[in-house]
Amino acid sequence: MAYQTKIDLDIAFIPLGTPMFADLIIRLDQDQSLNPTRRRDLISGLNRVAKALGCAPQDVPCHTRWLQPRLSKIAPAAFGLSPKTWQNAVSNARAAMVHVGIVERRARRITDLSPGLGRNFGLASWPRHTARPCNLPCAASSIS
């Protein structure tokens, strides 16, 4: 007679060896390169996301294709959270995965732009209450 183990269909298609949130929490807790406040925030984000998913951290895989559809269904108000608090929790959980190398950091900073475009973007991002130049230098210069 062959014995079969019960497979949780919720994580059946997650690649073997995919770390769970609990693994990240352990790694972050031991990482001395992080500022203690940042470490606390990253761990808190992982715990808060796991709680909102109704799972323990050891049952939440660090797999973005598994996480994304589940996170999109969560209503922060159902957990007594403001939309901004929920956004910060998800952002901290993602930052934890970036820190350990599971996902890549998003390229959304001025420093991620090419040097020419970065210089021009600096002019375009002046505060709204100050006068802006009417012609940006990008019209006259080539941008790589």
Tens of pLDDT, residues 81-97 = 999 999 999 999 999 99
Q: Of 91, 104, 106, 100, nearest to 20 (Cα)? A: 100
Q: Evaluate if residue 65 carries a pLDDT over 80.
A: yes
Distance CA(94)–CA(41), nearest Å, equals 11
Give CA 35 to chain center in angstroms: 18
Question: How far, rounded to the nearest angstrom, does the alpha carbon of residue 25 sit from its chain's CA centroid?
Answer: 15
What tokens appear for 134 in the block? 């009417």
Cα separation values, 62 from 8, 35, 67, 70, 97, Å = 16, 22, 8, 13, 7
Q: Which of 20-24, 100-104, 116-120 has the lowest mean pLDDT?
A: 116-120
- pLDDT tens for 45-61 read 999 999 999 999 999 99
The confidence score (pLDDT) of residue 127 equals 54
pLDDT digits (tens, 9 = 90+) for 104-134: 666 555 665 666 665 565 555 545 555 544 4
Helix axes 36-52, 64-72, angle to 10 degrees: 70
AA identity, residue 104: E
| Number of Cβ within a 10 Å radius of residue 67 | 19
- Burial of residue 94 (number of CB atoms within 10 Å: 0-12, 13-18, 19+): buried
Place of tokens 């939440």: 60
Q: What percent of the chain has pLDDT over 90?
A: 56
